[in-house]
Amino acid sequence: MFKPTLYHFAFRNAAVRDHFDRALLAMRVDGRYEQIFANYGAEP
């Protein structure tokens, strides 16, 4: 429907950024990241 878009995140607080990075890595490691994309018929 829409062309792919690259999203970026910016954080004002390094601790929040680090928490986000750790959580995203954990999702990639355990497969949740890919499952979210699969649920929408997309690929990461």
**11-33 pLDDT, tens per residue?**
999 999 999 999 999 999 999 99
Q: Are 13 and 20 in contact (CB under 8 A)?
A: no
Residue 22 lies in a domain: yes
pTM, full prediction? 0.72
Residue with tokens 């995203």: 24
Say if 6 falls within a structural domain. Answer: no
CB half-sphere exposure, 28, CA atoms < 13 A: 8
What is the predicted pLDDT for the residue at 19? Answer: 97
Instruction: Please report whether residue 32 resides in a domain.
Output: yes
Q: How far apart are CA 39 and CA 27, in angstroms?
A: 15
Give the pLDDT confidence score for residue 1 in this predicted structure: 65
7 pLDDT tier (thresholds 50, 70, 90): confident
User: How many domains does the chain fold into?
Assistant: 1
At 28 the pLDDT is: 96
Amino acid at 27: M
**CA distance linking residue 44 with residue 31, whole number of Å:** 11
For residue 5, being part of any structural domain is answered with no
In a domain, 8, yes or no: no
Residue 4 lies in a domain: no
Residue 1 domain flag: no
Query: 18 lies in a domain?
Result: yes
Instruction: Identify whether the C-beta of residue 34 lies closer than 8 Å to the C-beta of residue 24.
Output: no
Domain span at residue 40?
13-44
